[in-house]
């Protein structure tokens, strides 16, 4: 193996081929600290040509490559396995914004650019790059593309897939495919770009992308509504869409238990209502006209919702600080959960119209199987995406409860399937959900996926053990 590392060092330079365990340690543990892999080396190339040359050496030596961006993924996709035979290839040094074309409304970037940096560069050009998620300060656009990340603005702008016009990819053979076209129409055969998006690094390494930019909204306004039930939240969604059309950019559901957990773990955060309510919806509206227009739309819609008994109460933020405070409640749910202890997480999607029924049916099923378990149910309701997490019943330790993960998953995922949903809405499959995917995808679908993998990566060196 010396030969292999010597070749890598000749390409990337000694300083960027890490092989000492202490140097590799920051790269090999997953985001939630559940798994620490073992790498043969961590490669940190500084250019696309170096990525390609390193992959050629890996192919020559049959060494598997695990691409890593910000390592914020939640499904064990970006860390090596325990064998010590895989290399981790970090894209972090490929972090240049290559070009902004304000007329084409596109931005061409290296895959290792941090999402927040991309948002800031777009804003400095008077544009909006709308992808937004709580990990935006550390996740990379390459990771966002590889996982087809969702986030809080999918309702209006779509997933990362919808925000990408072109890709540059290093293939498993170490060739560079330059598909960096900023075209909105391009019907020239199979859409290779869409194959690599969401492939979680199993088909090739994304090194660059052309992203879509949008006009900056003139104003946005946030409100928190209190409601009797998830069914009322669906009624509110329809009402808001009817009243506000595409101005509705965020629609996040949070249960009473979620906000109680946040209040317990982060008592300094705002408490918008005097007493508790069964459900809450965080709403965001953007206007391309003015703040007055946004406020007018929101107040009119909320008035109608109150009048029809769809909501119990509502708080409209009257300042940027108040808006931020309301969003903090939503963003602190995962943090509050983490402070309260480990729980069993599910990132699921359902047809929007069936979400209330899913919640109604699945809660009692879980309670029957695991009496007293607590549901931390929140998510991007407007996209049909729920984070449906299950915490242990009082008196049972988090670690003991985790031993029942397979049984808990079975109840949740069988119910998801019954309601026509998906076991992974936005986090991907990685190694964590690979066996679940095999269980719930049809043999026809799995065979087509395997055929694509075998055609593009016949040596099986690209992130093996992930997805399939
Ligand atoms: C607090 C928090 C909130 C989050 N909220 C959301 C959310 O709202 N919506 C959402 O979708 N996700 C969310 N996530 C999950 C995570 O942030 C996203 O999956 C993100 O897109 C991962 O980006 P990354 O750069 O960290 O990728 P990594 O974690 O490094 O990698 C993720 C996967 O992509 C592959 N990969 C990474 N870079 C490349 C590349 N250049 N080429 C090919 N493959 C690559 C890896 O091999 C791995 O399989 C959240 C995570 C945290 C910690």
Atom of ligand 1 lying closest to residue 200 CA: 49
**pLDDT, mean of residues 259-264:** 96
**In which element (H, E) is residue 307 found?**
helix 291-307
Atom of ligand 1 lying closest to residue 335 CA: 1
422 vs 319: which has the higher pLDDT: 422
Q: In this model, does residue 388 exceed pLDDT 80?
A: yes
Helix, strand, or coil (residue 257):
helix
Atom of ligand 1 lying closest to residue 66 CA: 47
Query: DSSP assignment of 72-131, as one string?
Result: --SSS-SS--TTS-EEEEE-TT---EEEEETTTTEEEEETT-BHHHHHHHHHHTTEE---
Q: Categorize the per-residue pLDDT at 92 as very low, low, confident or very high, splitting at 50, 70 and 90.
A: very high
Of 202-211, 291-300, 383-392, the range with the lowest mean pLDDT is: 291-300
Centre of ligand 1 to C-alpha 144, Å, is 5
Candidates 71, 10, 13, 11; CA nearest to 39 is 71
Atom of ligand 1 lying closest to residue 67 CA: 47
pLDDT digits (tens, 9 = 90+) for 5-55: 999 999 999 999 999 999 999 999 999 888 999 999 999 999 999 999 999
Mean pLDDT, the chain, rounded, equals 96
Give the pocket of ligand 1 (CB within 6 Å).
Answer: 31, 66-74, 77-78, 91, 111, 133-135, 139-140, 142-144, 146-147, 149-151, 200-201, 205-206, 334, 426-427, 430, 463, 466
Rg (CA), the chain: 23
Residue to substitute in 33, 58, 72 for testing ligand 1 pocket (most ligand atoms within 8 angstroms of CB): 72
Centre of ligand 1 to C-alpha 197, Å, is 12
The pLDDT of residue 426: 95
The pLDDT of residue 254: 97
Centre of ligand 1 to C-alpha 310, Å, is 36
Calculate the alpha carbon distances from 75 to 91, 199, 338, 424 in Å: 19, 13, 16, 10
**pLDDT, mean of residues 344-371:** 97
What CA–CA distance (Å, rounded) separates 165 from 171?
19
Centre of ligand 1 to C-alpha 52, Å, is 22
pLDDT digits (tens, 9 = 90+) for 286-321: 999 998 999 999 999 999 999 999 999 999 998 888
Residue to substitute in 66, 68, 80, 162 for testing ligand 1 pocket (most ligand atoms within 8 angstroms of CB): 68
Percent of the chain with pLDDT strictly greater than 90 = 94
Residue to substitute in 119, 133, 176 for testing ligand 1 pocket (most ligand atoms within 8 angstroms of CB): 133
Centre of ligand 1 to C-alpha 96, Å, is 19
Q: In this model, does residue 356 exceed pLDDT 90?
A: yes
What CA–CA distance (Å, rounded) separates 164 from 162?
6
* pTM (2 d.p.): 0.95
Atom of ligand 1 lying closest to residue 426 CA: 11
Percent of the chain with pLDDT strictly greater than 70 = 100
The pLDDT of residue 1: 55
**pLDDT, mean of residues 157-177:** 98
By alpha-carbon position, which residue is closest to atom 2 of ligand 1?
135
List 114's β-bridge partners, or say none: 140
Centre of ligand 1 to C-alpha 78, Å, is 8
Helix, strand, or coil (residue 380):
strand
Q: In this model, does residue 179 exceed pLDDT 80?
A: yes
Q: Categorize the per-residue pLDDT at 152 as very low, low, confident or very high, splitting at 50, 70 and 90.
A: confident
Centre of ligand 1 to C-alpha 211, Å, is 17
Atom of ligand 1 lying closest to residue 196 CA: 43
Going along the chain from its start, the domains and CATH numbers come out as 2-90 (3.30.43.10), 97-215 (3.30.465.10), 219-334 (3.30.70.2190), 341-433 (3.30.70.2740)
**pLDDT, mean of residues 178-191:** 95
C-alpha distance across the termini of the chain, in Å: 27
Centre of ligand 1 to C-alpha 317, Å, is 31
Q: Categorize the per-residue pLDDT at 360 as very low, low, confident or very high, splitting at 50, 70 and 90.
A: very high
**pLDDT, mean of residues 255-266:** 96
Candidates 333, 355, 354, 353; CA nearest to 345 is 333
The pLDDT of residue 2: 58
The pLDDT of residue 32: 86
The pLDDT of residue 319: 87
**pLDDT, mean of residues 191-210:** 98
């Amino acid at each position: 193996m010396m030969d292999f590392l010597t070749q890598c060092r000749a390409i990337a330079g000694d300083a960027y081929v890490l092989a000492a365990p202490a140097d590799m340690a920051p790269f090999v543990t997953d985001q939630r600290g559940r798994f620490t892999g073992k790498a043969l080396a961590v490669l940190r190339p500084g250019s696309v040509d170096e990525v390609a040359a390193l992959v050629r050496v890996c192919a020559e030596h049959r060494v598997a490559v695990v691409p890593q961006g910000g390592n914020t993924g939640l499904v064990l996709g970006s860390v090596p396995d325990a064998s010590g035979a895989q290399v981790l290839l970090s894209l972090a040094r490929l972090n240049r914004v290559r070009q902004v074309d304000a007329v084409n409304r596109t931005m061409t970037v290296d895959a290792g650019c941090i999402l927040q940096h991309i948002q800031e560069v777009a804003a400095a050009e008077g544009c909006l790059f709308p992808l937004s998620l709580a990990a935006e300060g550390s996740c990379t656009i390459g990771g966002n593309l590889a996982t087809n990340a969702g986030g809080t603005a999918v309702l209006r702008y779509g997933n990362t897939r919808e925000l990408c016009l072109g890709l540059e990819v290093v293939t498993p053979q170490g060739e560079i495919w330059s598909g960096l076209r900023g075209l909105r129409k391009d019907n020239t055969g199979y859409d290779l770009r869409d194959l690599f998006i969401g492939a979680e690094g199993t088909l090739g390494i994304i090194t660059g992308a052309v992203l879509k930019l949008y006009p900056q909204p003139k104003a946005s306004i946030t409100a928190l509504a209190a409601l009797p039930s998830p069914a009322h939240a669906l009624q509110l969604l329809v009402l808001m869409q009817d009243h506000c059309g595409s101005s509705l950019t965020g629609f996040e559901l949070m249960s009473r238990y979620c906000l109680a957990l946040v209040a317990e773990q982060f008592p300094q955060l705002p408490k918008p209502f005097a007493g508790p309510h069964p459900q809450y919806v965080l709403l965001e509206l953007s206007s391309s006209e003015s703040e007055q227009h946004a406020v007018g739309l929101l107040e009119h819609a909320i008035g109608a919702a109150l009048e029809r008994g769809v909501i119990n109460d509502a708080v409209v933020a009257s300042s940027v600080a108040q808006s931020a405070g309301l969003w903090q409640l939503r963003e602190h749910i995962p943090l509050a959960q983490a402070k309260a202890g480990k729980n069993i997480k599910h990132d699921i999607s359902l047809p929007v119209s069936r979400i209330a029924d899913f919640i109604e049916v699945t809660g009692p099923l879980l309670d029957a199987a695991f009496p007293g378990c607590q549901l931390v149910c929140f998510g991007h309701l407007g996209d049909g995406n729920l984070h449906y997490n299950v915490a242990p019943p009082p008196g049972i330790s988090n670690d003991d409860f985790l031993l029942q993960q397979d049984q808990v998953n079975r109840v949740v995922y069988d119910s998801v399937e019954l309601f026509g949903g998906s076991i992974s809405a936005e986090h991907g499959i990685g190694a964590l959900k690979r066996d679940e995917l095999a269980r719930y995808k049809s043999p026809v679908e799995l065979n087509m996926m395997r055929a694509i993998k075998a055609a593009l990566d016949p040596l099986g060196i690209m992130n093996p053990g992930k997805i399939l």
